[in-house]
Amino acid sequence: MNIILVAIDLVTVIIFMLILVFSVGIVWRVEKELDLSYKCFVIAAGCLTLAEIIGFYADPAFNIIALSKGLRLVGAGFLLASVFLMRDLLRKLDGEKNPDKK
């Protein structure tokens, strides 16, 4: 059973690393508001990747679990900011929101 859990953790870390690499590639190519949205997304992906890596190697006897939980919270906050920024951008593109107002 432990081998299965380690394999799941390893696959999760690999997926987060791929998300991070592809997101950085997108940020490198976009501009303006989309850039800000993806910068928030990259920070979120980085925080979540670090949280997973810390959780993967953490010894429960240490207080490092609080750091992992904190990184997850920060990552979730940046992910939410990224979604809101993308939502506003799409609303402007659809004409639902006036582009002159912020």
DSSP secondary structure of 1-17 = -HHHHHHHHHHHHHHHH
Q: What is the structure's pLDDT at 77?
A: 93
pLDDT in tens, 27-65: 767 666 677 888 888 899 889 888 888 877 766 666 777
Apex CA 69: angle with CA 66 and CA 71, to 5°?
110
For the chain, the structural domain boundaries read 2-93
Instruction: Report yes or no: 71 and 54 within 8 Å, Cβ to Cβ.
Output: yes
Higher local confidence (pLDDT), 93 or 59 = 93
What pLDDT shows up at residue 49? 87
Angle between helices 64-93 and 32-57 (to 10 degrees): 160
Q: What average pLDDT does this structure show over 10-37?
A: 79
